[in-house]
């Protein structure tokens, strides 16, 4: 029987609806859900490849203690006892949970309840601290509540969209496509991109402001000042619904007195700044989208408020097509905020520092205690572990040994912590390999619960697979530990709908319209109605049973006075400035086809081919002055650590600034972990780390040989200085390099590639003088592995050799061509994958453009399908067409 399940993509905060269909032969196909109002059937490359990540390969299948498989009973007992013992000896603040925006709301709710209401500490923080906690502070300061005012429909109803600190094309691709389509329907829609880099998002920009890293507050203070001078301040809105404008304007006038001043501080042309200000000033319907480029900063909270100030000053909030709009990074960052998953929040958007709220939550939970003060935020939490103040840590569904700033120190802290528990669906991560106890959690296709996306829309994630091995739901694991710690009364859940009902009821408990987060009308679900649950935007109350697309339409805010609050923003420089020793600024972020630390997207071959290696984007002139060439390996070094990546010339980089992606871990590379380099400076209010501004130096990596391996088997490349692993179709690809060449290259190659010593079926070419070696190991008439070594990076393309792994048998011409690495006459080397959805390579595209005279992206789509699904590759297709 063919079955289709409606669920949600587990990657970014867009929250796309997904249809998973199981065919009669047991294969799963994944498509966008046309009925889901966030994506209307569209998916990006990552969502489209979800079906390729479902295998049990790499899954954590059984509980383990110190590497030994144990029963659930034993593992749960040990976790409860371990945490209980530490609490008894050292107090509740000696334990901590580090959780994740990957958890479902129900999981998150139970974790927060256990820590804050039963253990009695607030030492629960989340990796959402790393992506949007500055927005939370900004919202709360301005609105009195952590409310996102807008909805996705506003992107279609706007006349001007400002994308600031957001590479939307790669990080929120389906929203980028919505904006792109809106622009096609309405050519008058203007798009402004504010980003130090010229990213693929600039492809649809009418104006790009490549501002100097960290100067956003000057730019938006300047805008506030300009709006005043241009007489665009909405006085009636100001008087009725806001407070604090005069002070905010006063500071803006002092710190950003003129367009020229702003341009000089931000490293921009005055004409560009003027053009932006004019557009903003003259356009009523303007949405300002901001994301990690704003949040991940030591002044992230101020940047958010500098943006919100401009919307309040013009009254452009709470109405269709306008408002400040934070795009969240993770699928359930918003759900985590709703249940109080941050160390400084209580459940249901209540405040931990508010005695009334504490009493209210404790009464509702009927819990033995309630945390009385904020807990440690992520960076501080891992510092406390390093200092021995926190002695037991439970990490849920995240990988801080890769993703935290100063990640090397964080990994050391985890290693030396007395008790580290990790519940995850993946067996080997940089964090699990350092843990004492591993608890197998359900994976994406196995979980039941809810998530909330960037537009406050709650959707159901539904299971379509049975548990892998002995994996269990996170809420079940946490509840079982709680019961074994003696808290049976509050954790007797049998099904996630019971948790959802409790969460919904708490949101309405003694609320009376005083708190923004209220979904009380959704409480009282039975298992059946919870299963049928349709996507809906909170608040959902008796008065608004259909949900609320926008907030603040009535001009009423959740501050004591009911008015929104301007913030006077004094621009601050980033915490660590470049110096003679560390003259460059390192910016980190995502690539198009990978997600976080690659534990899931790293399993999909088509997602690995677009960017198979960690890279460092650098302006060619900066590279020239550092004597580094395009395609060479380089080390990026800061006071905190070092990483090695492949140099990518990029004229869209600002001079003096570098960009490197965040995804590579010790499981995928020997030296690619960029967060090891990132400074641990944080925003004083939000605790969000400064991932976008670390002073670094860059130098050529001193490798004397380069190479690659393609292998059907996964390899351990111990002793190889530089290696990076990528998943291919029926093979793994390794890029390798080293500081010393082995004396006997064939023997060295065989030591890595041969499963058995009696293997004799090798095709080899060794040129000792030229220090080159090429070897292909055959089993029968199939390629088993291939290794190519050269003294420099001049090696053949990997794509033709890689394609041979999918062949059952090679023909004679292919066998003869093996050691050239180039296809025989009549075959094409497809080249690096550009379109991941249809697996179309660069060489295929170039040839079609040339031979068939293609002149537009639409013609390419008709000819090769490339660019017709998610559209993420469209900017690159345009690049191939010549602009
Ligand atoms: Fe998933 Fe892509 Fe949609 Fe984000 S934009 S939710 S990654 S399909």
The preferred substitution site among 48, 174, 601 for testing ligand 1, maximizing ligand atoms within 8 Å of CB, is: 174
Helices within 685-766 (DSSP H only): 745-753
Bridge partners (DSSP) of residue 125 are 98
Q: Is 879 helix (H, G, I), strand (E, B) or coil?
A: helix
DSSP 3-state of 385: helix
Percent of the chain exceeding pLDDT 70 equals: 99
Mean pLDDT of 241-257: 98
- The Cα 692–Cα 290 span in angstroms is 14
Pairing of strands 642-649, 615-618: parallel
Cα 697 to Cα 658: distance, rounded to the nearest angstrom: 10
DSSP assignment, residue 804? G
- Residue 7 DSSP class: E
Torsion, CA 509, CA 510, CA 514, CA 516, rounded to 10: 0
Q: How far is the CA of 595 from the centre of ligand 1 (A)?
A: 10
Which atom in ligand 1 lies closest to the alpha carbon of residue 595?
7
Distance CA 311, CA 316 (A): 5
DSSP for 254-313 reads HHS-SHHHHHHHHT--HHHHHHHHHHHHH-SSEEEEE-HHHHSSTTHHHHHHHHHHHHHH
Q: Ligand 1 test: best mutation among 40, 47, 332, most atoms within 8 Å of CB?
A: 47
Q: How confident is the model at residue 758 (pLDDT cuts 50, 70, 90)?
A: low
Q: What DSSP designation does 436 have?
A: S
Question: Among 44-53, 90-99, 429-438, where is mean pLDDT lowest?
Answer: 44-53
Ligand 1 atom index nearest CA of 172: 5
| Distance between Cα 325 and ligand 1 center (Å) | 18
Q: With cut-offs at 50, 70 and 90, classify the pLDDT of residue 586.
A: very high
From 16, 327, 457, 869, the mutation candidate for ligand 1 (largest count of ligand atoms within 8 A of CB) is: 16
Q: Note the pTM of the prediction, 2 decimals.
A: 0.95
245 C-alpha to ligand 1 centroid (Å): 38
The C-alpha angle 463, 523, 352, rounded to 5 degrees, equals 100
Q: Which atom of ligand 1 lies closest to the CA of 38?
A: 3
pLDDT band for position 756 (50/70/90)?
low
- Determine contact, residues 634/616, Cβ cutoff 8 Å: yes
Number of neighbours of residue 759 by Cβ within 10 angstroms:
14
What's the pLDDT band for 759 if we cut at 50, 70, 90?
A: low
What pLDDT digit, counting tens, does each position of 693-744 carry? 999 999 999 899 999 999 999 999 988 999 999 999 999 999 999 998 888 9
pLDDT, one tens digit per residue, over 144-175 is: 999 999 999 999 999 999 999 999 999 999 99
Strand order, beta sheet including 782-790: 722-728, 731-738, 705-711, 782-790, 772-779, 762-767
- Measured CA to CA in angstroms, residue 385 lies from 377, 381, 382, 404, 665 at distances of 12, 6, 5, 14, 21
- Ligand 1 pocket at CB < 6 A: 9, 11-12, 14-16, 39, 43-44, 46-47, 172-174
455 CB-near residues (< 8 Å, 6+ apart): 15, 38, 148, 150, 151, 152, 537, 549
* Cα gap 233→316, rounded to integer Å: 10
Distance CA 681, CA 695 (A): 12
- Ligand 1 center to 309 CA (angstroms): 30
Least confident of 21-30, 130-139, 204-213: 21-30
pLDDT at 760 over 80: no
Q: Of 538, 492, 547, nearest to 516 (Cα)?
A: 538
Q: Are 70 and 453 in contact (CB under 8 A)?
A: no
Average pLDDT value for residue range 178-192:
95
Q: For residue 525, name the pLDDT band (cuts at 50, 70, 90).
A: very high
Q: Which of 7, 8, 10, 12 most suits a substitution to test ligand 1, by most atoms within 8 Å of the C-beta?
A: 12
The encoded tokens of residue 123 equal 């030492």
- Give residue 653 CA to ligand 1 midpoint distance, Å: 26
CA 249 to each of CA 312, 565, 572: distance values in angstroms, whole numbers, following the listed order: 12, 13, 17
Structure tokens at 117: 């209401």
The ligand 1 atom at the shortest distance from the C-alpha of residue 15 is 6
The two most distant CA atoms of the chain are separated, in Å, by 86
Coil, strand or helix at 807:
coil
Q: What pLDDT score does 33 carry?
A: 97
CA angle at 843 for the pair 838 and 846, rounded to the nearest 5°: 95
Bridge-based pairing state of the strands 392-396 and 419-424? parallel
Q: Please give the distance of CA 766 from its chain centroid, rounded to a whole number.
A: 44
Name residues whose C-beta falls within 8 Å of residue 124's C-beta, 6 or more positions apart in sequence.
96, 97, 98, 99, 111, 112, 115, 116, 341, 343, 375
Q: How many CA atoms lie within 13 A of 178 on its CB side?
A: 23
Residue 98 pLDDT class (50, 70, 90 cuts): very high
Name the H helices within 561-655.
605-608, 620-625
Ligand 1 centroid to residue 230 C-alpha, Å? 40
* Tens digit of each residue's pLDDT (9 = 90 or more) over 370-420: 999 999 999 999 999 999 999 999 999 999 999 999 999 999 999 999 999
pLDDT in the model for residue 757: 52
Range with the lowest mean pLDDT among 448-457, 463-472, 767-776?
Answer: 767-776
Q: Using alpha carbons, list the distances in angstroms from residue 778 to 164, 255, 725, 811, 838.
A: 52, 68, 21, 13, 29
Q: Are 547 and 540 in contact (CB under 8 A)?
A: yes
Omega before 539 cis (within 30°)? yes
**pLDDT tens figures, 793-830:** 789 989 999 999 999 999 999 999 999 999 998 888 88
Report the atom number in ligand 1 closest to the C-alpha of 9. 1
pLDDT at 280 over 80: yes
Question: From the CA of 18, how far away is ligand 1's center (Å)?
Answer: 9
Residue 607's nearest CA partner among 837, 300, 377 is 837
Question: Which is the closest atom of ligand 1 to the Cα of 11?
Answer: 7
Instruction: State which of 40, 46, 177 you would mutate to test the pocket of ligand 1, scoring each by most atoms of that ligand within 8 A of its C-beta.
Output: 46
Contact 352, 121 (CB under 8 A): no
For residue 476, pLDDT over 70 is answered with: yes
Residue 605 has pLDDT above 90, yes or no: no
Q: Indicate the range of 503-507, 686-690, 867-871 predicted with least confidence.
A: 867-871
Tell me the CA–centroid distance for residue 44 and ligand 1, in Å.
6
| Ligand 1 geometric centre to CA of 15 (Å) | 6
Helix, strand, or coil (residue 495): coil
How far is it, in rounded angstroms, from Cα 830 to Cα 678?
Answer: 36
Locate 347 and state its tokens: 């459940």
Q: What is the C-alpha separation between 836 and 49, in angstroms, rounded?
A: 9
Q: Mutation test of ligand 1: which of 33, 172, 328, 598 has the most ligand atoms closer than 8 Å to its C-beta?
A: 172
Q: Average the pLDDT over 103-116 and give the result.
A: 97
Confidence of residue 846 (pLDDT cuts 50, 70, 90): very high
Q: What integer pLDDT is reported at residue 755 of this predicted model?
A: 62
Instruction: Using alpha carbons only, give the angle 724, 726, 729 rounded to the nearest 5 degrees.
Output: 155
What are 568's two structure tokens?
Answer: 């006077």
The pLDDT, as a whole number, for residue 347 is: 96
When the pLDDT of each residue in the chain is averaged and rounded to a whole number, the result is: 94
CA of 649 from ligand 1 middle (Å) equals 28
CA distance 347 to 109: 8
CA dist., res. 716 & res. 714, Å (int): 7
């Amino acid at each position: 029987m063919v079955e289709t399940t409606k669920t949600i993509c587990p990657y970014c905060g867009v929250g796309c609806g997904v249809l998973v269909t199981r065919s009669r032969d047991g294969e799963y196909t994944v498509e966008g859900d046309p009925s889901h109002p966030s994506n209307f059937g569209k998916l990006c490359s990552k969502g489209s490849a979800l079906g390729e990540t479902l295998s049990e390969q790499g899954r954590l299948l059984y509980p383990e203690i110190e590497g030994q498989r144990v029963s659930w009973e034993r593992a749960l007992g040990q976790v409860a006892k371990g945490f209980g013992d530490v609490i008894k000896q050292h107090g509740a603040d000696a334990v901590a949970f580090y959780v994740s925006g990957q958890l479902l709301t129900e999981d998150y709710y139970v974790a927060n309840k256990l820590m804050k209401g039963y253990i009695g500490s607030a030492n629960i923080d989340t990796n959402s601290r790393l992506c949007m906690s500055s927005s939370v502070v900004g919202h709360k300061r301005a609105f009195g509540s952590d409310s996102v005012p807008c909805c996705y429909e506003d992107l279609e109803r706007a006349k001007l969209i400002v994308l600031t600190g957001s590479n939307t094309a790669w990080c929120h691709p389906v929203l980028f496509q919505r904006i792109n389509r809106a622009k096609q329907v309405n050519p008058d829609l203007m798009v402004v991109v504010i980003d130090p880099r010229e990213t693929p998002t600039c492809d649809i920009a009418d104006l790009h402001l490549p501002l100097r890293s960290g100067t956003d507050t000057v730019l938006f203070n300047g805008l506030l000042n300009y709006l005043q001078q241009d007489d665009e301040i909405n006085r009636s809105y100001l008087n009725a619904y806001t407070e604090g404008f005069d002070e905010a304007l006063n500071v803006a006038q002092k710190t950003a007195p003129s367009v020229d001043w702003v341009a000089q501080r931000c490293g921009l042309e005055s004409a560009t700044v003027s053009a932006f200000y004019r557009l903003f000033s003259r356009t009523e319907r303007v949405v300002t989208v901001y994301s990690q480029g704003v949040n991940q900063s030591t002044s992230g909270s101020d940047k958010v408020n500098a943006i919100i100030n401009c919307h309040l000053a013009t009254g452009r909030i709470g109405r269709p097509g306008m408002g400040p709009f934070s795009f969240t990074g993770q699928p359930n960052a918003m759900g985590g905020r709703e249940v109080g998953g941050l160390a400084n929040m209580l459940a249901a958007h209540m405040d931990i520092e508010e005695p009334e709220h504490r009493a209210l939550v404790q009464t509702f939970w009927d819990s033995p205690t309630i945390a009385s003060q904020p807990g440690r935020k992520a960076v501080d939490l891992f510092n406390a572990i390093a200092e021995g103040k926190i002695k037991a840590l439970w990490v849920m569904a995240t990988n801080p040994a890769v993703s935290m700033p100063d990640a090397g120190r964080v990994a050391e802290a985890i290693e030396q912590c007395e008790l580290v528990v990790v519940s995850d669906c993946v067996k080997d991560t940089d964090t699990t390999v350092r843990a004492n106890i591993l608890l197998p959690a359900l994976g994406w296709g196995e979980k039941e619960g809810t998530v909330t996306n960037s537009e406050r829309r709650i959707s159901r994630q539904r299971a379509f697979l049975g548990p892998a091995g002995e994996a269990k739901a996170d809420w079940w694991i946490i509840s079982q530990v709680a019961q074994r710690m003696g808290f049976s009364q509050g954790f007797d859940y049998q099904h996630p709908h019971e948790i959802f009902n409790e969460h919904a009821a708490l949101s309405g408990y003694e609320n009376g319209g005083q708190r923004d987060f209220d979904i009380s009308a959704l409480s009282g679900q039975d298992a059946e109605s919870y299963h049928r649950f349709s996507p809906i935007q909170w608040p959902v109350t008796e008065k608004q049973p259909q949900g609320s697309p926008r907030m603040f339409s009535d001009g009423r805010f959740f501050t004591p006075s009911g008015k929104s609050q301007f913030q006077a923003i004094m621009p601050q420089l980033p915490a660590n400035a470049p110096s003679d020793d560390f003259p460059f600024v390192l910016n980190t972020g995502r690539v198009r086809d990978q997600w976080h630390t690659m534990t899931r997207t790293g399993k999909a071959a088509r997602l690995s081919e677009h960017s198979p290696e960690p890279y460092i984007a650098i302006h060619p002139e900066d590279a020239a002055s550092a004597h580094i060439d395009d395609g060479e390996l380089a080390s990026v070094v800061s006071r905190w650590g070092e990483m090695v990546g492949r140099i990518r010339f990029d004229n869209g980089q600002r001079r003096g600034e570098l960009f490197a992606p965040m995804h590579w871990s010790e499981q995928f590379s020997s030296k690619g972990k960029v967060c090891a380099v990132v400074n641990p400076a944080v925003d004083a209010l939000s605790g969000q780390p400064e991932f976008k501004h670390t002073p670094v130096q860059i130098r050529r990596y001193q490798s004397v040989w380069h190479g690659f391996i393609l292998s059907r088997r996964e390899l351990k490349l111990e002793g190889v200085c530089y290696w990076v692993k990528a998943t291919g179709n029926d093979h793994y690809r390794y890029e390798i390099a080293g500081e010393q060449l082995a004396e006997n290259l064939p023997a060295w190659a065989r030591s890595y590639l041969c499963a058995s010593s009696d293997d004799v079926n090798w095709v080899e070419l060794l040129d000792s003088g030229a220090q080159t070696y090429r070897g292909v190991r055959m089993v029968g008439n199939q390629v088993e592995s291939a290794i190519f070594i050269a003294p420099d990076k001049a090696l053949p393309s990997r794509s033709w050799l890689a394609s041979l792994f999918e062949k059952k048998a090679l023909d004679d011409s292919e066998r003869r061509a093996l050691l050239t690495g180039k296809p025989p006459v009549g075959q094409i080397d497809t080249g690096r994958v550009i379109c991941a959805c249809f697996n179309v390579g660069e060489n295929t595209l170039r040839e079609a453009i040339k031979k068939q005279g293609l002149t537009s992206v639409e013609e390419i789509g008709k000819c090769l399908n490339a660019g017709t699904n998610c559209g993420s590759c469209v900017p690159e297709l345009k690049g191939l067409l010549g602009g």
